[in-house]
Amino acid sequence: MAEQLKNLYSKEFIDKLANKLFLTYAKFEKEKFINSIFDNTWQDLELKARMRHISLNLNTFLPLSYKEQLEILKKVKEDFGGLEAMVFQDFVEVFGLDDLTESLKALEIFTINSSSEFAIRQFILKYEDETMEQMKIWVKSQNEHLRRLASEGCRPRLPWAVALPKFKKNPTKVLEIIELLKNDSSKYVQKSVANNLNDISKDNPDLVIDFVKNNLGVSKELDWICKHASRTLLKIGDEKILKLFGLEKVNHINITNFCYDKKVKLGEDLTFSFELNSNKNIGNIRVEYAIDYLKSNKTHNRKIFMISQNEIKSFSKIFIKKQNFKNMTTRKHYEGKHFISLLINGEEFVKEEFFVYDASY
């Protein structure tokens, strides 16, 4: 994934950036800038390292005051968006920490059609009260990018970003932002609110359980937020959250015709199927499967995967699934005994073993 993403910062992107900088600032030495980007370290740099490399060189080739640099970059940013445009926010993160006022103004502009979620965190760490107050202003913005930034930027465990230890321990200020955004009409914002709550659930599960208890059933949008926010708690089988979603222990369901591959070649799929049966409508259930992956130290590590969470208005239901065993940067597979389990409402109903083998030798 990172190998592909880093190529967002391509020769085409750097050429475009250099040309826009030159058009905005006539003294900009674009050829020297381009050469400085593509030095002997470039090929080995991953996405965020490339972003930082560009930021540092922007500072070198814009020998002006920080405020003057920002005015140039604000004009240039108009022609860039998405993930690649986050190089502008990264510049603020690196060079703007001593100027809160100008930096927050810049991040407000740079986040449009992009995101300042990474950069804003350094300002939370250094100027917590001031930055969180600014976020309370952003939640009232007509622009969904600013409202989302207010939530996404203060997530305690935002992926790829520096953590916010104080908010992991006590997310009170984060929950104040969430309360202001929980009824937002934008799906973009709703998803961020749900992800923020899911982050909080990993350190303060009872706070999220209380949120769900107080908001589930209020509206269709809040129901979606509550469900998405609870995905970690549901996955670990938290009894309180399962009960709130009506997913209590079932006694009327049997699992039959469980078929699965007893052997799986490394790089290929484990295929399996099973049937749920009942003497009445199966009803509202959460169906998952778990793989106990063999680790290099010969112990196992369980990963749980969602199959379905909804109401089944029939006496039976067949599921056919597969799980790939191709090595990835995030998971390496080892030859040997693994296990597959089927879970209903967090309870394990079936567990069987299978063998992964390497046919390359």
Tens of pLDDT along the chain (361 residues)? Answer: 334 788 889 999 999 999 999 999 999 999 999 999 999 999 999 999 999 999 999 999 999 999 999 999 999 999 999 999 999 999 999 999 999 999 999 999 999 999 999 999 999 999 999 999 999 999 999 999 999 999 999 999 999 899 999 999 999 999 999 999 999 999 999 999 999 999 999 999 999 999 999 999 999 999 999 999 999 999 999 999 999 999 988 999 999 999 999 999 999 999 999 999 999 999 999 999 999 999 999 999 999 999 999 999 999 999 999 999 999 878 899 999 999 999 999 999 999 999 999 987 6
Q: Is 248 helix (H, G, I), strand (E, B) or coil?
A: coil
What does the pLDDT read at residue 342? 98
Q: Which fold has domain 253-357?
A: Immunoglobulin-like (2.60.40)
Q: Give yes or no for a contact between 253 and 278, defined as CB atoms under 8 angstroms apart.
A: yes
Q: Identical fold at 2-244 and 253-357?
A: no
Alpha-carbon gap, residue 172 to 178, rounded angstroms: 10
Which fold would CATH assign to domain 2-244?
1.25.40
What are the distances in angstroms from CA 293 to CA 36, 58, 158, 167, 344? 45, 46, 26, 32, 20
pLDDT recorded at residue 9: 93
Q: Token digits for 68?
A: 């003057």
Q: What is the pLDDT of residue 361?
A: 66
Edge-first strand order for the sheet with 300-312 is 263-265, 347-357, 336-344, 283-294, 300-312
Residue 218, token pair as written in the block: 């209020």
Domain boundaries, the chain: 2-244, 253-357
Helices (DSSP H) in 170-321: which residue ranges? Answer: 172-181, 187-201, 205-215, 220-229, 231-235, 239-244
